[in-house]
């Protein structure tokens, strides 16, 4: 008789704390009747944002065409719409054959890595990162090598430090811009340097650009595919964030650059796409309408728009706090908040996140979730309205002030804090 059914050893080093123990504890507390303000996930629909009506109508009108499997790469109108967007941005030499539609970018991250990696191959991933990238590298037999994007440099990578990490086993580099979790938007000069490094070293560039139109103030988004010419570039994006359609599960990967040299790789990717038959068909009909229609995201990110004002509320709360430190995000849907450890020595992000949840009913994602070596950051989303965020940071400052005054003991090590889940 088997006493225990053990999970695969391949999961030993895989983490996704954004939906981990803290989130499970929040669900338990909600079932007990507590109202939790959840800032751990960028899920627009949970905060009252709606997908544009034209996209919903496009799905409804094409439901009769959605009952059969489609081509493994996706329906042609959706792929052609992606091509037209890329061409409008200055990307050359791309056709619908180089576009793969997936069940969100998440599925495509797994597929593009599975088609590329062998045992022990290395992929350069930013730190902090969106943790799915590190997890997917590990699950596909590779090794994630994290290049630092340090707070003191506004979370912008240093290309020289990146190049120093390249070894004969390095196969690819991941560039997340605008960045999740930090909200950094990379300058053109930095992206050009990273492109030259990738070309010089023969690395595949995976450009995660899901937040490409979520920009604030004078931030400029530079598509990586416009800079990469002498190696392969995969641009990954989708409907979930800009178009507030997370549940539609539609993403795409479009390949550019040295396509002839990538024939075998792209054939392997098509094989993997075929094995899962196809991605969700009904929602693919929304792609052409989304990319070719009115871009309502600009109203939300402009001064006076909800996302702009929520971001301003977060920045104001950080400025007013004796404990919080923030590099104000220039894009995306998040703020990567820091704690002044001179005021709160011994601060631990994961223990604090648990205490904040238990005591103040606010759920955040601790910084350690994003593969950083320091323990004094956490991520929040700016999707709630400004009034809700003001309440959140009042509660947060109350807890931090209690730590500083000694009225409440600063949570100890993560190992000690974790016992409180039991």
- All CATH 3.90.1150.10 domain ranges of the chain, comma separated, are 9-49+299-405+413-421
The pLDDT tens digits of the residues spanning 197-246 come to 999 999 999 999 999 999 999 999 999 999 999 999 999 999 999 999 99
Q: Any idea which of 266-270, 325-329, 410-414 has the lowest mean pLDDT?
A: 410-414
Q: In what order do the strands lie in the sheet with 334-339?
A: 324-325, 334-339, 377-381, 365-366
- All CATH 3.40.640.10 domain ranges of the chain, comma separated, are 64-292
Q: Compute CA distances 341 → 106, 375, 410, whole Å.
A: 35, 10, 12
Position 414 scores a pLDDT of 40
The CATH fold assigned to 9-49+299-405+413-421 is 3.90.1150
105-115 mean pLDDT:
97
Domain boundaries 64-292, CATH class: alpha beta
Does residue 3 register a pLDDT over 90?
A: no
Does residue 413 register a pLDDT over 60?
A: no
Retrieve residue 40's tokens: 């751990």
68-74 mean pLDDT:
95
The pLDDT tens digits of the residues spanning 157-196 come to 999 999 999 999 999 999 999 999 999 999 999 999 999 9
68-75 mean pLDDT:
96
**What average pLDDT does the chain have?**
93
The pLDDT tens digits of the residues spanning 113-140 come to 999 999 999 999 999 999 999 999 999 9
331-335 mean pLDDT:
97
Does residue 87 register a pLDDT over 50?
A: yes
Report which of 234, 236, 231 is spatially closest to residue 258, judged by C-alpha positions: 231
The pLDDT tens digits of the residues spanning 12-22 come to 777 777 677 88
pTM, whole model, 2 decimals? Answer: 0.93
151-156 mean pLDDT:
96
Position 418 scores a pLDDT of 40
375-404 mean pLDDT:
95
325-334 mean pLDDT:
97
Retrieve residue 358's tokens: 């238990």
Res. 412 pLDDT band, cuts 50 70 90: low
Report which of 187, 211, 248, 221 is spatially closest to residue 130, judged by C-alpha positions: 211
Does residue 399 register a pLDDT over 90?
A: yes
63-75 mean pLDDT:
94
Residue with tokens 């003001």: 390
DSSP-based three-state secondary structure for 363: strand
Q: Rounded to the nearest 5 degrees, what angle is found at the Cα of 51, between the Cα atoms of 49 and 53?
A: 125
d(CA 272, CA 98): 15
Res. 1 pLDDT band, cuts 50 70 90: low
d(CA 400, CA 347): 10
């Amino acid at each position: 008789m088997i006493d225990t059914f053990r999970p695969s050893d391949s999961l030993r080093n895989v983490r996704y704390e954004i939906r981990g123990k803290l989130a499970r504890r929040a669900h338990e507390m909600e079932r007990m009747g507590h109202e939790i303000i959840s800032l751990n996930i960028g899920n627009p629909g949970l905060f009252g944002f709606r997908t544009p009506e034209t996209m919903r109508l496009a799905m409804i009108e094409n439901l009769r065409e959605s009952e059969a499997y489609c081509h493994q790469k996706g329906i042609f109108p959706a792929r052609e719409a992606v091509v037209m967007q890329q061409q409008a941005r200055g990307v050359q030499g791309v056709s619908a054959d180089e576009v793969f539609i997936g069940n969100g970018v998440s599925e495509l991250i797994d597929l593009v890595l599975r088609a590329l990696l062998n045992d022990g191959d290395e992929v350069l991933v930013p730190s902090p990162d969106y943790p799915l990238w590190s997890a997917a590298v590990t699950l596909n037999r590779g090794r994630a090598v994290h290049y630092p994007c340090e707070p003191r440099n506004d979370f912008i990578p240093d290309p020289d430090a990146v190049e120093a990490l390249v070894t004969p086993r390095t196969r690819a580099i991941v560039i997340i811009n605008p960045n999740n979790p930090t909200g950094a938007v990379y300058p053109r000069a930095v992206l050009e340097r990273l492109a030259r490094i990738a070309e010089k070293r023969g690395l595949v560039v995976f450009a995660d650009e899901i937040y490409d139109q979520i920009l604030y103030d004078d931030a400029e988004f530079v598509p990586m595919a416009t800079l990469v010419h002498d190696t392969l570039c995969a641009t990954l994006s989708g409907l979930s964030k800009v178009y507030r359609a997370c549940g539609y599960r539609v993403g795409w990967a479009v390949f550019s650059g040295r396509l002839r040299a990538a024939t075998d790789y792209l054939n392997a990717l098509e094989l993997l796409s075929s094995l899962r038959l196809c991605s969700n068909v009904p929602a693919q009909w929304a792609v052409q309408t989304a990319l070719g229609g009115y871009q309502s995201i600009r109203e939300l990110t402009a001064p006076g728009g909800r996302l702009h004002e929520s971001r301003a509320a977060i920045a104001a709360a950080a400025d007013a706090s004796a404990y919080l430190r923030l590099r104000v995000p220039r894009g995306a849907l998040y703020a990567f908040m820091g704690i002044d450890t001179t005021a709160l020595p011994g601060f631990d992000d994961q223990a604090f996140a648990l205490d904040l949840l238990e005591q103040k009913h606010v759920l955040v994602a601790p910084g350690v979730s994003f593969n950083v070596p320091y323990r004094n950051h956490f991520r929040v989303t700016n999707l709630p309205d400004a009034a809700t965020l003001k309440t959140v940071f009042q509660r947060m400052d109350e807890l931090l002030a209690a730590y500083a005054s000694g009225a409440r003991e600063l949570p100890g090590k993560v190992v000690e804090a974790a016992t409180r889940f039991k």
